[in-house]
Structure 1
Amino acid sequence: MRYRTVIACLLLAIVSACASPTSRFYTLSGPSPTGGKASGPSVAVGPVALPTVVDRPQIVVHAGANEVRLDEFNRWASPLPEDITRVIAANLAQELATERVWPYGQSTQTTTDYQVRIDIQKFESTLGDAVVIEAIWTVRRVADDTSRSGRSLVRETTAGGDFDALVAAHSRALARVSGEIAVAIQTP
């Protein structure tokens, strides 16, 4: 009897040691649609380019000056460039008070007033500290093919040490980048 109890305990220990943690999936957040004007400027957002190191399903966090860690159990729910595009489009719709903003390539409209291209140079995440987004963007007015470019460098502190706080900080940082892009669209 004692022998069977020991074997059962060993098997239970082996099975519980093999159980892997549950994966968690995250999305960036933007404002909810507010019913902007149907007559405002039409804006296509994208494409968005990202550094290869962060363009992956795993959330990449900085672990030191020259070290990053790919977290296998904390992941993006959709491809990060698509999520960034969606959030910037929602932010611009709110900033410009128009419902005519959408991700590039996801509309049935063949022409737009503006196209916004974004090249994310930095998308850094440090748990319990801050996120940094550096973006070079171009706003092209389609009618006369003129462009205005800018560079946004945003640092947003996290409100906690977990991944929820990290993703929320990225969402706030993207809202600030979107604000700068909106000013470029509104400036004659």
Structure 2
Amino acid sequence: MVRFAHGVLLAGLIGLTGCTAFQPVPLYQLDSGNPHVPEQKSGPAVLLGPVEIADYLNCDLLLQRQADGSLTAARRARWAGNLPNDIDQLLLRQLAGRLDSQRLALAPAAPGFTPEVQVQLSITRLDSGPKQPAVLEAQWRLLDKRGQLRDTRLVRLEEPHQGAPADQVKAQSLVLQRLAEQLASAIQPLAAAEAEAAAAEEARKNAATRTPKKVEPTKPQIPIPSPVRTDVEIYRF
């Protein structure tokens, strides 16, 4: 009987340890905010990508920046899904709302999509820590429809938070939203200039099609005088 009681107690301890070991870990996603969703399929055509992400962000660990600059994995937090994909979707939704355009696509673009502006983005840092602010470091480049570089910028953005994992994720989402705001401000004048140039070219082609070709007037034909014969013999009777 005593042996049976010890067995029940041991089984209970093992079960308790198992429940503790397999306790669910909270999963987090970036917050896209509440961007305006364009209703009409108009606005500038923008290609987002390629978007390059630092290698250390290609994992499901919620990394914590320490005071000495090192990174450690959070014990009680993970990313839900693929972080690089979440970054792409956040930026795409933010840009669509700020540009009021449905004509946005992630690289590589589908056949038939001709962007007026292409955004090439490299994110070299995106992290935070219990006592460290959320920090985003990136570089973006804007190309016109001919593939010519029109603008480029290095960016460093910071956002304070309260320290909890949920607060850190919110702060990281906010710096990405601020990046999208900067991108939209830089895209708008370039897209407007491209649209104006395209409209002017179309108007020129239409005008050339409608204008009839000038017909050169035909020169009047001057009759060529025949030579007068002077060797005619005259007979008198």
Residue 56 to residue 142, structure 1, CA distance change in 2 (3 Å) = same
Where does residue 138 of structure 1 map in the other structure? 141
Could you tell me which residue of structure 2 aligns to residue 46 of structure 1? 49
Report percent identity of matched pairs.
Answer: 24
RMSD value, Cα? 2.2
TM-score normalized with structure 2 length: 0.70
Give matches, 1:70-109, under 5 Å: 70-71=73-74, 74-105=77-108, 107=110, 109=112
Higher Rg: 2
Shifted more, 126-135 versus 90-99: the winner is 126-135
Higher-helix-fraction structure: 2
Residue in structure 1 matched with residue 156 of structure 2 by the alignment: 153
Structure 1 position 62, deviation (Å): 1.4
Q: TM-score, normalised by structure 1?
A: 0.87
SS of the aligned residue for 2:124 comes to: strand
Q: Which residue of 2 aligns with 1:3?
A: 3
Q: Is the 8 A contact 1:121 1:134 kept in 2?
A: yes
1:135 partner letter: A
Residue pair 2:26, 2:76 contacting (<8 A) in 1 also: yes
Q: Relative contact order, CA 8 A, sep 6+: which one is greater?
A: 1
**Do structure 1's residue 117 and structure 2's residue 120 form an aligned pair?**
yes
Deviations 1:37-81 (CA, angstroms, capped at 9, x unpaired):
422101121222122122212111113414211236522223222
The alpha-carbon deviation at position 138 of structure 1 amounts to 0.8
Once the two structures are superposed, what CA deviation does each residue of 1:5-50 show, in whole Å capped at 9, x if it has no partner? 2321222112322332313322212135522542210112122212
Cα distance in 1 for partners of 2:52, 2:133 equals 22
CA distance in 2, matches of 1:143, 1:106: 15
Q: Which structure 1 residue ranges, 5 or more long, are not aligned?
A: none
Letter in 2 for 1:54: L
Contact 1:128–1:162 (Cα < 8 Å) also in 2: no
In structure 1, distance between residues paired with 2:73 and 2:105: 30
Following superposition, which runs of at least 4 residues in structure 1 exceed 3 angstroms of deviation? 106-109
Q: Aligned AA for 2:188? A: Q
In structure 1, distance between residues paired with 2:137 and 2:155: 6
Matched positions, count:
187
180, 185, 188: which one pairs with 2:187?
A: 185
Which residue identity lines up with residue 11 of structure 1 in the other structure?
A
What displacement does 1:86 show? 0.9
For structure 2, the 5+ residue unaligned runs are: 191-237
Name whichever structure is richer in strand by fraction.
Answer: 1
Report the CA distance between 1:116 and its aligned residue: 0.9
